[in-house]
Structure 1
Amino acid sequence: MSPAHLALALLTTMLWGFNFVMIRIGLESGLPPLLMAALRFVVAALPALWLPRPKIASRRLVAIGLFLFVGQFALLFTGMQAGMPPGLTSVVQQSQAFITGLFAALLLRERLRGRALAGMAVAFAGLLLIATTAGGGGVTGTGLALCLGSAACWAMGNVLLRGAGSSPGGALAFMSWLSLVPILPLFALSLAIEGPSAVAHALAHPRPGGIAAVLYVAVAATSIGYGIWGFLMARYPATTVAPFAMLVPITGAASAALVLGEGFGAVRLAGMALVLAGLAVTALPWGTRKRPKPS
C-alpha cells in the first residue's frame, strides 16, 4: 500500500472511531436517538440524487437497509442513550465480526474454522467481563444488550451483503441509495417511541451539538469514510485493507478518553483487550508465507 493510501486507511479508522464521540455529543445536546439516526440518513442519502442506482434487486436492497441501517443504528443510538459509553461501545460493536461468522455458518453453510472458533471464545470471554461491570461507570445492562443487538443486526446485514454485487457508482453510490431505506422507518419509530412533541421540539430548536453530530455521522463517517473504504477495497486485496478496521475500537476508545474523559477500569480494560485479541486471532493473517521453490 502506498504511503498516500496508507494515510487514507488510517484516516478512515479515525473518522469511524471518533463517530462514537460525536454520537454522544448529539445525545447530550438533547437530540432523541431515533430522530438523530433518521436525520443521519437524510443527509447521507443526498448523493443518491445524482449517483447511479446499484444493480441490486429492490427487495434485497430494502432487506440490507433494514438490518444494516435501521436495526443497527436504532439499537446503537438508543443503547448509548440507555447507558453505554462511546469508547466501550466502539469495542463491543466489533462483536459483529464473530456474529457474522455464526450467521454465515447457519444461513450460508460456511465452515467455521478452528481459529475463528478460538477467536470467538476469547472475545466472548471479554464480553462476559465487560458485562460484569454493568451498573457501574456509566454502563447499564440494557445499554449493553441493545449494543449487542445492534452488532447482531450489523452481522445480518453483512450476510445479506454477500453476493450483492458491485455498484456502478462505487461504495458511495451504494451507501447513498442504501441510506434511502431507513429514513421512513426511523422517523416512524421516533414518532411512535420518542413522541411527536419531542420530535417537533428537537427539529424546531436545533442545538449546535446536535447539528454537528448529524453532519459528522452522515458526511464524515458515512459518505467520506465508506467512500475511502470502497476506494481502497477496489485497489487492494481485502486481506490488506480489512485489518485496518481493527483500529476503529482503539481510536474510538482513545478519542472518548481524550475528548470526554471516559475511564475504563481494570476489569473493563481486560474485557476490551480480550475482545480485540479475539478479533486479531480471527482476522489477521497468522499463517507463514510459503517460500518460493528454488529454480
Structure 2
Amino acid sequence: MTPASRFNHRYLVLAVATFCCFLWGSAYPIIKIGYEWLNLAADDTASQILFAGYRFLGSGALLLIFAGLMGKSLWRFSGREWASLAMLGLLQTTLQYVFFYIGLAHASGVKAAIMNATGTFFSVLLAHFIYRDDRLSQTRVLGCVIGFVGVVLVNIGKPGSGVDAQVSMLGEGFIAIAALVLSLSLIYGKHLSRTIDPTVMTAHQLTLGGVVLLLLGEGLGGSVAITTVASGALLLYLMALSAAAFALWSFLLKYNPVGQVIPFQFLIPIFGAGLSALLLQESIMEWKNLAALVLVCSGIWLVTRPSPSQRR
C-alpha cells in the first residue's frame, strides 16, 4: 500500500467510523422518544423487548434484501456456521439489547451514553487476553482508570449525596452489562467475518436475534401499537440505523485491527449526550456531565494511542 493510499484509507475509516458512532449515539434519545410516543412505561419490560424485536427483525430484513440485490449468497452455510450466526445473534442482538433497552428506560439519555463508553475499556481488556500484539501497558491502565473515574463522576448526585443515591442497577448497571456483551460479540463477529461476508453475517444475526426478542416480548405479554405516521417513521429510522451501523462496523473490523477501530467509539457518548440534550431537553451543561465527558474521552485516547514504536 502506497503512502497516498494509506492516507486515503485512514480518512475513509475516520468517515465511516464517525458515521456509525453518530447513528449509535442518536439511538439514545430516539428510543426514549419512542417510549413516550408508544406509551411504553419504564417498568413495561415486555413491551420494551417487543419494541426491540420489531426494530432488529426489520433491520435484518432490510440488510437481507440489500445483500440479495448485491448478488451475495444468503443461505449457503454449513450447520456449524448457522450455529455460529445464531450464537452471534443471541449475544449481539438479543442479550445485549435486553439489557440496553431496560437500562435506557431507567436512566437518562446523557448518563446512558456515557455509561455505554465502558464498552471501549472492556474491548481493550478482552483484546489483552485474545491478541498477542495488543497487550495492556501502564498508559492503557491509566487510561482505563481515568475513563472509569469519568463514569463514576456522571453518577454522582448532589454534593454529599454519594454515588449510591444516583445509581440504579436496572439503569446504569444494565447499560454497562450491555456494553460488555457488545464488546464480546464484536470480537466474536470479527472472527466469523473471516469466512462469512460481513453484510450477510450482520443481516442474519440481526434477524435471528430480532426473532428471539420478538418471541420473548410476546411471551411476556408485551404490546406495541404503531398507530401514527410519526411512530412508524421513528421505528423505520431505528431499523435503518442498526442495519447501516452494524454492517459498516463489521466491515471495519474485518479489514482493520481492533485497536484501530475501537477508539472511535469515544464519539458515541459525545453524540449520544449532545443529541439527548438537544432532543430531550436533558441537562448536559452541568459541570459533572462535562467533566465526565472529558475524562471518558481522555481515558479512551490514552488507551488507544499508538506506542512510540508504532508511531515510528
TM-score past 0.5 threshold: yes
Q: CA deviation at 1:11?
A: 3.1
Question: Would you say 1:186 and 2:202 are equivalent positions?
Answer: no
Q: CA deviation at 1:48?
A: 2.5
Q: Decide whether the 8 Å contact of 1:44 with 1:222 is kept in 2.
A: yes
1:171-191 Cα offsets, whole Å, 9 max, x none, are 322211111221232123313
Paired with 1:230 and 1:164, the residues of 2 have a C-alpha distance of 10
Q: Decide whether the 8 Å contact of 1:9 with 1:244 is kept in 2.
A: yes
What's the TM-score once normalised by structure 1's chain length? 0.80
The unaligned stretches of length 5 or more in structure 1 are none
Residue 203 of structure 2 corresponds to: 176
Alpha carbons of structure 1 residues 238 and 186: separation in structure 2 relative to 1, 3 Å: closer
1:125 corresponds, among 131, 149, 169, to: 149
2:294 corresponds, among 245, 256, 273, to: 273
Letter in 1 for 2:30: M
Counterparts of 1:7-18 in structure 2, within 5 Å, are 7-18=15-26
Residue 163 of structure 1 corresponds to: 191
Residue 36 of structure 1 corresponds to: 51
Question: Would you say 1:61 and 2:89 are equivalent positions?
Answer: no
SS in 1 for 2:283: coil
Q: CA deviation at 1:141?
A: 4.6
Counterparts of 1:233-252 in structure 2, within 5 Å, are 241-252=261-272
Residue 285 of structure 1 corresponds to: 306
1:238-260 Cα offsets, whole Å, 9 max, x none, are 66654433222212211111222
Alpha carbons of structure 1 residues 161 and 236: separation in structure 2 relative to 1, 3 Å: closer
Identity of aligned residues (%): 22
Deviates more, 1:175-184 or 1:109-118: 109-118
Counterparts of 1:31-180 in structure 2, within 5 Å, are 31=40, 32-46=47-61, 47-48=63-64, 50=68, 51-53=72-74, 57-82=81-106, 84-105=107-128, 111-133=135-157, 140-166=168-194, 169=197, 171-180=198-207
Q: CA deviation at 1:150?
A: 0.8
Q: CA deviation at 1:10?
A: 3.6
Q: CA deviation at 1:262?
A: 1.4
**Count of paired positions:** 281
Paired with 2:296 and 2:111, the residues of 1 have a C-alpha distance of 11
Paired with 1:127 and 1:210, the residues of 2 have a C-alpha distance of 32
Q: Decide whether the 8 Å contact of 1:25 with 1:209 is kept in 2.
A: no
Paired with 2:122 and 2:256, the residues of 1 have a C-alpha distance of 25
Alpha carbons of structure 1 residues 99 and 13: separation in structure 2 relative to 1, 3 Å: closer
Residue 22 of structure 1 corresponds to: 30
Q: Decide whether the 8 Å contact of 1:35 with 1:190 is kept in 2.
A: yes
Paired with 1:93 and 1:189, the residues of 2 have a C-alpha distance of 24
Residue 211 of structure 1 corresponds to: 232
The unaligned stretches of length 5 or more in structure 2 are 1-6, 41-46, 158-162
Q: Decide whether the 8 Å contact of 1:119 with 1:281 is kept in 2.
A: yes
Q: Decide whether the 8 Å contact of 2:99 with 2:178 is kept in 1.
A: yes
Q: Decide whether the 8 Å contact of 2:57 with 2:211 is kept in 1.
A: no
RMSD (Å), alpha carbons: 3.2
SS in 2 for 1:206: coil
What's the TM-score once normalised by structure 2's chain length? 0.76
Q: Decide whether the 8 Å contact of 1:27 with 1:210 is kept in 2.
A: no
Counterparts of 1:216-231 in structure 2, within 5 Å, are 216-219=237-240, 221-230=241-250
Q: Decide whether the 8 Å contact of 2:119 with 2:183 is kept in 1.
A: yes
Q: Decide whether the 8 Å contact of 1:167 with 1:173 is kept in 2.
A: no
Question: Would you say 1:257 and 2:277 are equivalent positions?
Answer: yes
Letter in 2 for 1:274: L
